Amino acid sequence: MITIAPSILSADFANLGRDVQRVREADWLHVDVMDGMFVSNISIGVPVVKSLRKFTDQFLDVHLMIEKPVRYVDAFADAGADLLTVHLEADMPPGIQAALAAMERRGVRKGIALRPITAAEAVLPYLDKVDLILVMTVEPGFGGQAFMADQLPKIAAIRRYIQERNPACRLEVDGGVDPVTARQVVEAGADVLVAGSAIYGAPDPAQAIRALRGE
């Protein structure tokens, strides 16, 4: 079962409600939070997640591209996030463990993300504790970048680890996902696909979601 998570980073923020409605047939909504430090872009934060929670029943998949994310777990849990994903590069291991423990306490699903430079093995200390692993197939920070095919072996390696150690864990891929690259990442083992430009740049976002599912 492939889950599609439209990235609202590619939506029109002046018409966010309308753009969320346009992707209502997607299972999840992917929310990119950027602090201008962990990545060079600044996007949206807690108040937007809170407004989205009132507006939609879609699963809110919140990708934290922020330094020391443990500081914000409670705020995003209060805002209504269903899943919080933190980058392994965003803090030292005790800080990442603390963020995961805070999510556990708050009953929020737990994700870890890897920049393209980070090796597959980096997930191993966390694999039994998380609900999702996110492999970035672009440098985090901006939508509309080209898919990095050199990440495919990493996706396949992480899929093998998941099968061996935590088969319920989801494997999400984000960056440059379109109907062609979607097939490649699903073949490598991904089961959650994030897409911004391929959905919001399409004349019919609902049709674009179906195309990503391979329908």
Binding-site positions for substrate read: 7, 63, 141-144, 174-176, 196-197
- The answer to whether 20 and 29 have CB atoms below 8 angstroms apart is yes
* Chain residue whose CB lies nearest ligand 5SP: 196
> What is the rounded distance in angstroms from the CA atom of residue 131 to the CA atom of residue 112?
9
Establish how many alpha carbons lie within 13 A of residue 67's alpha carbon, considering only the half-sphere containing its beta carbon: 8
Among 3, 10, 58, 181, binds ligand 5SP (CB under 6 A): 10
Establish how many alpha carbons lie within 13 A of residue 121's alpha carbon, considering only the half-sphere containing its beta carbon: 0
Shorter beta-carbon distance to ligand 5SP: residue 19 or 32: 32
Per-residue x/- marks for ligand 5SP, 165-204, CB under 6 A?
---------xxxx----------------xxxxx------
Work out how close the CB of 54 gets to ligand 5SP at its nearest, in angstroms, rounded to a whole number: 23
> What is the rounded distance in angstroms from the CA atom of residue 214 to the CA atom of residue 180?
10
Burial of 7-17, coded b for 16+ CB within 10 Å and e otherwise, reads bbbbbeeeebe
Per-residue x/- marks for ligand 5SP, 17-56, CB under 6 A?
-------------x-x------------------------
78 assigned to active site: no
Shorter beta-carbon distance to ligand 5SP: residue 101 or 202: 202
174 assigned to active site: yes
- The answer to whether 29 and 58 have CB atoms below 8 angstroms apart is yes
Beta strands (DSSP E) in the chain are 3-6, 28-34, 59-65, 83-87, 109-114, 132-136, 170-174, 192-195
Among 45, 111, 141, 189, binds ligand 5SP (CB under 6 A): 141
Query: Rounded to the nearest 5 degrees, what angle is found at the Cα of 155, between the Cα atoms of 153 and 159?
Result: 115
Per-residue x/- marks for ligand 5SP, 56-95, CB under 6 A?
-------x--------------------------------
144 binds ligand 5SP (CB under 6 A): yes
Per CB under 6 A, residues contacting ligand 5SP are 7, 9-10, 30, 32, 63, 138, 140-145, 174-177, 194-198
